[in-house]
Amino acid sequence: MVDRPITFSLCHPTLRLPDDWRKACQAWFDLADDPDSCEYILCTEEPVAIDPSTVPWRNFRQVSNEGRKTAASAWNTAGFAATGQFLITVADDFFPCPHWDSEIRKLVPDMQKACVLGPRMSSEDGFLYFSLLTRAAYERYGGWFFYPEYWGMYADNDFTAWARSQDIVIDTALEFRHLHPTLSTAGWDETYLWQQDPAAYERGKKIFEWRVANNFAVRTEEAARCLEDPGRVKYAETAPPHKTAIAICLPGESFSSAWVSNWTNLFVSLLIGGYDPAPLFGYASSPFVARSLLLQEVLTAPMFLDYLLWIDDDNIVLPADLARLLQDFQEHPEADMIAGWCWVEPSRGEKAITTSCGRLNPGYAVEPFPVAEIREAAKRGELMPAGYTGFPVVLMRYSLLAKIGQHPFTPFIAPEMRWGMTGEDVAFCARVTEAGGKLYVDPRVKVAHLKVREIPDPLEPMPLMPVPETPVLERIRQVFKPGHRANSEKKGVHV
């Protein structure tokens, strides 16, 4: 595969390690129409090893600002490593609008010209809180984001005054979010407070006044040597391999012994397979509320997630089912959401049971896939594009959540449906489709639905991948065998 040229360089210094930078990083890639044309350069204060594969995009690099302890120098270090035509300073609290890369291309069709963008922020005072500029403007300013003498305070004043004096700023209506305490309801943490040092403020003010009075000249030899330092960019060492992280969302409260037994096998198989599973349980008076509460837990989880796995409390999912869905995502990178299927109870006006997935017609009218159609697709080993699916077992990319907006499980009004509205699962799928997401059903992943388990499986048996016999699995069996609990409590045995 031929590497594509980089158009956008996203330069992000952070002090909030290990993970607070990830939300901004994920948002910039997820909200881009062409993420492969972007590179993300994370600059840390020390050469802390952060595994590049924990960010699921090709063009991620890490540099360190070792020995240079200021915000301005950290952004400059990231900028020195940039290779794109359009450079953007990013922070832990700075988030783009949807389709930001396409919008910038429209505003700046000629990336060879010197140009600075001024997106709308919480204030409309014309201040450039962040640098969004072409490489030509970057080089004209001095080959840095911020004049190197600044520690932080007044560095953005300097850039704003210079850019306005050059008459190269395009003020736009793009809505970027800067969640700084002075501009939003965000709280003050120690990083924000450290940046408000009064000494840095007075020092920055003096430098700024001199720079404006002298037409933004380079004031000291130290600043001039910044561009001549061949060792100014230090790349971090390679970190250990990444484990794929899966949040397992389990709505419900009535878990049968058959369900618990299968769930235990499924969870252990993920551990054995080298995955990083995070189970989340949730219960409420309605499926809509239960799923929404679980989704809120996912969005605030203190870890970077690759996938969400949804399993209802009355469906039996085997390790082989999940292995097939994970393999599907490897074979179909365009997919956002892939589900298995099961039998479900009759819908309004129907006498027979139906399948849990199918097409979604106007008015949110569901049209379940006929069993014969599922059988034929299973024999061919092909995924089925779907308009909706229930949630007997659903695997989705975490990045899908950025596309579908807030409260994706909220039902739509649909008079033809049983309760006069869609189910929360149908509403979620409709939002995925409306956002351009790709939803598939794997007809080979047939799970047992305990409510209708007397219905025979219409498909020929599929070969299943057994859970391998390992010391870990044997240990689990020992811990859970009858009578062991009392002994384990006395002897301090832990799983």
The per-residue pLDDT for range 81-120, each reduced to its tens digit, is 899 999 999 988 888 989 999 999 999 999 999 999 998 7
Q: How confident is the model at residue 47 (pLDDT cuts 50, 70, 90)?
A: low
- The total number of structural domains in the chain stands at 3
Where does the pLDDT of residue 415 fall: very low under 50, low under 70, confident under 90, or very high at 90 and above? low
Same domain, 12 and 31: yes
- The residue whose two tokens read 């080993």 is 381
Q: Are residues 61 and 201 in the same domain?
A: yes
Rg (CA), the chain: 27
Domain assignment present for residue 44? The answer is yes
Average pLDDT, the chain: 77
Q: In terms of residue numbers, what domain contains 424?
A: 245-452
What's the pLDDT score for residue 170? 93
Residue 328 lies in a domain: yes
Query: Is residue 217 over pLDDT 80?
Result: yes
Long-range contacts, 320-324 (Cβ 8 Å, 24+): 320/464, 320/465, 320/466, 321/393, 321/445, 321/447, 322/266, 322/269, 322/270, 322/393, 322/395, 323/269, 323/273, 323/465, 324/442, 324/444, 324/445
**CATH number of the CATH domain containing 183:** 3.90.550.10
The domain spanning residue 319 has which CATH number? 3.90.550.40
- The reply to whether 194 and 251 lie within a common domain is no
Q: Which tokens belong to 4? A: 């594509």
Residue 150 — very low, low, confident or very high, per pLDDT cuts 50/70/90? confident
Same domain for 203 and 286, yes or no, is: no
36 and 179 in a single domain? The answer is yes
Task: Please tell me which of 21-25, 154-158, 242-246 the model is most confident about, judged by mean pLDDT.
Answer: 154-158
- Do 325 and 421 share a domain, yes or no? yes
463 occurs within a structural domain: no
Judgement on whether residues 208 and 343 belong to the same structural domain of the protein: no
- Under the banding of pLDDT at 50, 70 and 90, the label for residue 300 is confident
Is 441 within the bounds of a domain? yes
State which of 235, 267, 287 marks the end of a domain.
235
CA 290 centroid distance within chain: 22
Q: CA nearest 177: which of 267, 92, 269, 285?
A: 92
pTM: 0.51
Question: Same domain, yes or no, for 83 and 111?
Answer: yes
SS (H, E, C) the chain: CCCCCCCEEEEEEECCCCCCCHHHHHHHHHCCCCHHHEEEEEEECCCCCCCHHHCCCCCEEEEECCCCCCHHHHHHHHHHCCCCCEEEECCCCEECCCCHHHHHHHHCCCCCCCCEEEEECCCCCCCCCCCEEEHHHHHHHCCCCCCCCCCECEHHHHHHHHHHHHCCEEEEEEECEECCCCCCCCCCCHHHHHHCCHHHHHHHHHHHHHHHHCCCCCCCHHHHHHHHCCCCCEECCCCCCCCCEEEEEEECCCCCHHHHHHHHHHHHHHHHCCCEEEEEEECCCCHHHHHHHHHHHHHCCCCCCCEEEEECCCEECCHHHHHHHHHHHHHCCCCCEEEEECEECCCCCCCCCEECEEEEEHHHEEEECCHHHHHHHHHHCCCEECCEECCCEEEEEHHHHHHHCCCCCCCCECCCCCCCECCHHHHHHHHHHHCCCCEEEEEEEECEEHHHCCCCCCCCCCCCCCCCCCHHHHHHHHHHCCCHHHHHHHHCCCC
- Residue 180 has a pLDDT of 57
Of residues 374 and 184, more confidently modeled: 374
The lowest-confidence range among 74-88, 214-228, 269-283, 422-436 is 214-228
**89 and 48 housed in the same domain:** yes
Is pLDDT of 402 > 60?
Answer: yes
Residues 491, 380 share a domain: no
Average pLDDT of the segment spanning 138-167: 89
Same structural domain for residues 329 and 429? Answer: yes
Residue 462 is assigned to a structural domain of this protein: no
459: in domain: no
403 and 301, same structural domain? Answer: yes
Domain assignment present for residue 460? The answer is no
Choose the final residue of a domain: 235, 267, 285: 235
Higher pLDDT residue, 59 or 484? Answer: 59
Last residue of a domain, one of 180, 208, 235: 235
Least confident of 163-172, 344-353, 363-372: 344-353
Q: Could you give the CA distance from residue 377 to residue 139 in angstroms, rounded to a whole number?
A: 57
Per-residue pLDDT reduced to its tens digit, 27-43: 898 899 888 899 999 88
For residue 107, tell me if it sits in a domain. yes
Q: Which of 96, 225, 109, 207 is nearest to 159 (CA)?
A: 207
